[in-house]
Chains A and B, each alone.
Chain A
Amino acid sequence: DAKTTQPPSMDCAEGRAANLPCNHSTISGNEYVYWYRQIHSQGPQYIIHGLKNNETNEMASLIITEDRKSSTLILPHATLRDTAVYYCIVRATSGTYKYIFGTGTRLKVLA
Chain B
Amino acid sequence: EPEVTQTPSHQVTQMGQEVILRCVPISNHLYFYWYRQILGQKVEFLVSFYNNEISEKSEIFDDQFSVERPDGSNFTLKIRSTKLEDSAMYFCASSPGGAWNTEAFFGQGTRLTVV
List, in ascending order, chain A residues with CB within 8 A of B107's CB: 43
| Nearest CB on B from A29, distance (A) | 12
A97-B101 Cα distance, complex, nearest whole Å: 10
With a CB–CB cut-off of 8 A, which chain B residues contact A14?
Answer: none
In the bound complex, residues from chain B placing their C-beta under 8 Å from that of A43 are 4, 91, 93, 106-109
Interface residue from A31, A96, A103 paired with B56 (Cβ < 8 Å): A96
- We find that the number of chain A residues with CB closer than 8 angstroms to chain B is 25
- Name A38-90 residues within 8 Å CB distance of B: 38, 41-46, 49, 51, 87
Check B42 against A49 for contact (C-beta < 8 Å). no
Asked if B13 is at the interface (CB within 8 A of a chain A CB), the reply is no
Q: How far is A98 from B31 in the complex, measured between Cα atoms in Å?
A: 10
Instruction: Find out whether the CB atom of A38 lies under 8 angstroms from the CB atom of B109.
Output: no
Asked, given contacts A96-B56, A97-B55, A97-B56, whether A46 binds B103 with beta carbons under 8 Å apart, the answer is: yes
Chain A stretch 13-51: residues in CB contact (< 8 A) with chain B: 30-32, 34, 36, 38, 41-46, 49, 51
Query: Contacts of A93 on B, CB cut-off 8 Å?
Result: 100
Q: Could you say which residues of chain B place their CB within 8 Å of the CB of A42?
A: 108-109
- Given A98-B33, A98-B48 in contact, is the A44-B91 Cβ separation under 8 Å? yes
Let me know if A41 and B100 touch, CB within 8 A: no
Taking beta carbons and an 8 Å cutoff, which residues of B are in contact with A?
4, 31, 33, 35, 37, 39, 42-45, 48, 55-56, 89, 91, 93, 95, 98-101, 103-109, 111
List 9 A-B residue pairs with CB atoms under 8 Å apart, sorted by A's residue number: A31-B100, A32-B101, A43-B4, A43-B106, A43-B108, A44-B106, A45-B106, A98-B33, A101-B42
